[in-house]
């Protein structure tokens, strides 16, 4: 595997289900991100982890719970979601953990298309 991978690619869940999204980066990066991409809205940054420590949490509802067990893996645990949470969830990674470098470009995975019924 190369780059950033995400599983599953598609997920349909009911409002009472609990599921998890998985992201793995094979780039040796130190920072990982979760984004939400909804139709007709800009990409929204949800969480940032740097060296496995959460450094940003952009007012995301508690029904979304991130986990970063090591610098290569990132999870997004989902529970009691709402239909408006249906979206494409994108994971990304970047090299620089301090966000200092001008070359701290983010590499994205293909996303998980989530549908909440």
Partner 1 sequence: AQSVTQLGSHVSVSEGALVLLRCNYSSSVPPYLFWYVQYPNQGLQLLLKYTSAATLVKGINGFEAEFKKSETSFHLTKPSAHMSDAAEYFCAVRRSGAGSYQLTFGKGTKLSVIP
Segment near partner 1 (CB under 8 A); pick from 14-22, 51-59, 69-77, 79-87: 51-59
Q: How far apart are CA 44 and CA 26, in angstroms?
A: 24
Smallest distance from the beta carbon of 85 to partner 1, in angstroms? 19
Long-range contacts of 97-102 (CB under 8 A, 24+ apart): 97/30, 97/31, 97/50, 97/51, 98/50, 99/31, 99/50
60 contributes a contact to partner 1 by CB under 8 A: no
75 binds partner 1 (CB under 8 A): no
**Could you tell me the smallest distance in angstroms from the CB atom of residue 48 to partner 1?**
5
Q: Are 19 and 12 in contact (CB under 8 A)?
A: no
The edge-to-edge listing of strands for the beta sheet with 73-79 is 4-7, 18-25, 73-79, 64-70
Assess 68 for contact with partner 1 (CB under 8 A): no
11-19, 65-73, 75-83, 95-103 -> range binding partner 1 (CB under 8 A): 95-103
Alpha-carbon distances, residue 50 vs 26, 36, 70, 105 (angstroms): 16, 19, 10, 14
Query: In the stretch 7-46, what mask flags binding to partner 1 with x, by CB under 8 A?
Result: ------------------------x-x------xxxx-x-
- Smaller CB distance to partner 1: residue 2 or 16? 2
Q: Does 106 bind partner 1 (CB under 8 A)?
A: yes
């Amino acid at each position: 595997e190369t780059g950033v991978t995400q599983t599953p690619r598609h997920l349909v869940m009911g409002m009472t289900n609990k599921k998890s999204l998985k992201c793995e980066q094979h780039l040796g990066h130190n920072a990982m991100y979760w984004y939400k991409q909804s139709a007709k809205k800009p990409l929204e940054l949800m969480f940032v982890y740097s060296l496995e420590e959460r450094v940003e949490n952009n007012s995301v509802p508690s029904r979304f719970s991130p986990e970063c067990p090591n610098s290569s893996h990132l999870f997004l645990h989902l529970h009691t979601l709402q239909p408006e949470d249906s979206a494409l969830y994108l994971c990304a990674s970047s090299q620089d953990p301090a966000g200092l470098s001008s070359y701290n470009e983010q590499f994205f995975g293909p996303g998980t298309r989530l549908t909440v019924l």
